[in-house]
Structure 1
Amino acid sequence: MAGGSAIRGSRVGAGPRGEAERGNTAPRFFVSYYCANSHETRPSFSIESGAQAPELWDCTSCGCPAGQDQQNPPSTQRNVPYKTHLAYVKERRTEEDGEALLAEALATLRARRGR
């Protein structure tokens, strides 16, 4: 006998397979959502908890917003480009403010060094 696994294809602690051994799942309802790229997403919601389906859902294929009306899906969101830290700083400060802060920081640094 080569190998020490008595039960091949399972792991230690694995439980029985099949719904009969695990118990029944909670009753659910499915809602279809459609995105602008003609993808359909069908998430399920619990009936017992009284969950209500939201108006919009993210498409699992492309990430665009999806709505329940197949004929009029929501428009795709405009991608906001990635901004660097410098871009955010430039939004808050003018070029003159930046020059003044740089001069102040250099003056402080030179004073500490004794120049």
Structure 2
Amino acid sequence: MPSGSAIRGTRVGSGPIRPTERCEPAPRHPVTYWCANSHPTEVSLAADVTPPVTWDCPRCGQPGGLDAANPPGRPRAEPYKTHLAYVKERRSDADGAAILAEALANLRQRRGEN
């Protein structure tokens, strides 16, 4: 008993049977990036796109550049910042003193000390 399925005999996720007859691939050009460990990474990009300056190396994770003789250096790791460090970036010492004085005045007023 025929099922009438047009996709009988193919598996899920498979591509077209003859892709060259149905579409023409976009023009591409290969671009090679080099990391500090001299790992080459070749990426195919569209012909009308300017290549990015850096590309992460899939082998070591470091950034790679277009110049094999002068690859970009290792990125600098930012240290962990606490909440207080972020607050100190946003506020000066004078602002902090003013906010503290205001909070203490409100607290003393609620307690009836003033």
Please classify the TM superposition score into its range, dividing by the shorter chain length: 0.5 to 0.7
Match for residue 50 of structure 2?
Answer: 52
Structure 1: how far apart are the matches of 2:46 and 2:101? 62
How is 1:54-69 mapped onto 2 (pairs within 5 angstroms)? 54=52, 56-61=53-58, 62-69=60-67
Structure 2: how far apart are the matches of 1:107 and 1:17? 78
Match for residue 34 of structure 1?
Answer: 34
CA pair 59-15 structure 1, distance change in 2 beyond 3 A: closer
Q: CA deviation at 1:18?
A: 5.2
- Deviation per CA, 1:51-72, whole angstroms, max 9, x where unpaired? 2324x22214244332122232
- Deviation per CA, 1:2-44, whole angstroms, max 9, x where unpaired? xxxx768427xx7635523652210100110001133322222
Are the counterparts in 2 of residues 34 and 59 from structure 1 also a CA contact under 8 Å?
no
- Structure 1 unmatched runs, 5+: 1-5
Q: TM-score of the superposition, structure 1-length normalised?
A: 0.63
Q: Percent identity?
A: 49
Secondary structure in 2 matching 1:73: coil
Are the counterparts in 2 of residues 39 and 59 from structure 1 also a CA contact under 8 Å?
no
- Structure 2 unmatched runs, 5+: 1-7
How many residues of Structure 1 are paired with residues of Structure 2 in the alignment? 103
CA pair 39-59 structure 1, distance change in 2 beyond 3 A: farther
Match for residue 72 of structure 1?
Answer: 70
Runs of 4+ deviating beyond 6 Å: none
> Which range moved further: 28-37 or 75-84?
75-84
Amino acid in the other structure paired with 2:92 = R
CA pair 17-51 structure 1, distance change in 2 beyond 3 A: same
